[in-house]
Structure 1
Amino acid sequence: MAVIVALGAFLMTLAGGWTAQRVTDRRHLVLGLAGGLMLGVVGLDLLPESLEAAGRPVFGVPLALLLFVAGFLVAHVVERLLAVRQAAHGASGGRNGGNGTDGRDGAVGRAPQVGMTAAAAMVGHSLADGVALGAAFQVGGGMGTAVALAVVTHDFADGFNTYTLTRLYGNARKRALLMLLADAAAPVVGAASTVLFTLPEEPLGAYLSFFAGGLLYLAAAEILPEAHHRHPALSTLMCTVGGVAGIWLVVGLAE
């Protein structure tokens, strides 16, 4: 049953990526929505899950929160190091040259490796979703149904964010589509793997905490500023709020 539900997540992820690439003429709205979805996933889904799973204190602070901050800092350091390396090689970007892209699909001068790393983390998150889905069905039908609703619905956001992040940092459309396909397949692989083994709760929680920190950095420091840079419109802000509210609705329905 878990694998069948994961196939639904596969289709929802592709639908999210398809939506992201079809609305390039409203890029600021896409980025505003993506930022809201990412904030919602971090604050309302990933962090609460990880606090429950990896909540033991380390020197007075829950391990999940330490890893959350570490994920944020690692994302910041990696992005800064890549930017310094880019500047050292004289990469000033351009319409289609260097590491830059045209104004429609990405930001000039950004390092494509950051987008690929972020997308790979999204794939890892989707893989963990599939494992959680399989484990939930092992616990019982009620738990499986709740987790299935959450996974299938927010995988639309995962697909949307995976494609948007990859393209925002100047990667070619082909790379973005490959990462989208990997993200779509990840829940199916994760759910199928639970037939063979069960992932311990603490390592899963630790991973989710670290990933949440990195995702928050990308949303707050990159996605949302880019969304409002050229179009500081109320509609962009409403898309961000709508993204957060949408994740809240999904989490609430899954409880």
Structure 2
Amino acid sequence: MTAVLVSAGAFLMTLLGGYVAQRTGDRRHLVLGFAAGLMLGVVAFDLLPEAINAAPDEVHGVPQALLMFAAGFLAIHIVERSVAIHRSHEGEYAAHSHAHAHSHAPGGKQGVGLTAAGALVGHSLMDGFAIGAAFQAGSTVGTVVAIAVVAHDFADGFNTYTITRMYGNNRRRALALLGADALAPVTGAAITLLFSIPEHLLGLYLGFFAGFLLYLATSDILPEAHSPHPSRSTLLCTLLGVGFMWVVIGFAD
């Protein structure tokens, strides 16, 4: 029951992240740069190390978690190509960068935003599982994991709202997914009162999700951030996002 109560902190931090994402106005390029940095930091410092630890068995010399990482990256790449979303020339991002705020965005493009946000909700659900499983191992372990989850769920809420809106979905839909993302850790922690996920499967999931996030950060969000405002401030925000996740995960460890 302690895990469920602690996960309420993750609920509040997720909502706070979404609120901050809504209030950015014409500083959207800075928000996207920071969001990409957060996502890169989560992938490099959190998801991949955890995935490799949980699923270290190798297939033809490569850890299974890293194979799933490549599969996640390729899966979203194939989805984007199949609905003809990704532009062939970076210069075209300027025209497409404002489409998120209007209703003319292609349905397939909106679907990618919903899929990405849905994956973030799934990740938050796993965060709740992580809190619950950690408290089953002991209160000290549970507290450390909870601090890490609560801290980076701010980034989850921020990214859920930003990604949903960036791909042309309306504000109501983005808020609905933000609410689902906020509830997910509490739900995941509650589920662990009944059973726990095998560690190996958790590692495979984390590897796949890491590849998914890396593609979004590098192939979509960063070019989008730099297209209207190719400035040093956007690059600085990306570096700050990566550094922020390094500090958070470093303290958690």
Report 1:146-165 matches (<5 A): 146-165=144-163
| Cα RMSD after superposing both structures | 1.9
- Residues 97 and 228 of structure 2 are in contact (CA less than 8 Å); yes or no, is this contact kept in structure 1? no
2:15 aligned with 1:14, yes or no?
yes
**SS of structure 1 residue aligned to 2:197:** coil
Structure 1 CA distance for aligned equivalents of residues 102 and 137 of structure 2: 43
Structure 2 CA distance for aligned equivalents of residues 133 and 247 of structure 1: 19
Please state how far the C-alpha of 1:121 moved relative to its aligned partner.
0.2
Task: Tell me the TM-score normalised to structure 2 length.
Answer: 0.92
Structure 2 CA distance for aligned equivalents of residues 198 and 222 of structure 1: 35
Structure 2 CA distance for aligned equivalents of residues 106 and 161 of structure 1: 19
Q: Which residue of 2 aligns with 1:179?
A: 177
Q: Deviations over 1:134-177 (max 9, x none)?
A: 00011011111110110000000000000000000000111100
Q: Deviations over 1:178-213 (max 9, x none)?
A: 000000000000001111001110111100100110
Structure 1 portions without partners, runs of 5+? 85-94
Identify the match of residue 242 of structure 1 among 221, 230, 240. Answer: 240
Q: Which residue of 2 aligns with 1:83?
A: 84
Structure 2 CA distance for aligned equivalents of residues 151 and 163 of structure 1: 18
Report 1:1-255 matches (<5 A): 1-83=2-84, 102=98, 105=101, 109=105, 111-255=109-253
The structure-2 alpha-carbon separation of the partners of 1:104 and 1:63, relative to structure 1 and needing over 3 Å to count, comes to closer
Give the aligned residue type for 2:70: V
Give the aligned residue type for 1:2: A
State the aligned residue count. 242
Structure 2 CA distance for aligned equivalents of residues 130 and 210 of structure 1: 18
Sequence identity (%): 62
**SS of structure 2 residue aligned to 1:83:** coil
Task: Tell me the TM-score normalised to structure 1 length.
Answer: 0.91
- Residues 106 and 169 of structure 1 are in contact (CA less than 8 Å); yes or no, is this contact kept in structure 2? no
**SS of structure 2 residue aligned to 1:235:** helix
Please state how far the C-alpha of 1:59 moved relative to its aligned partner.
1.2
- Residues 16 and 159 of structure 1 are in contact (CA less than 8 Å); yes or no, is this contact kept in structure 2? yes
Structure 2 portions without partners, runs of 5+? 86-94
Give the aligned residue type for 1:211: F
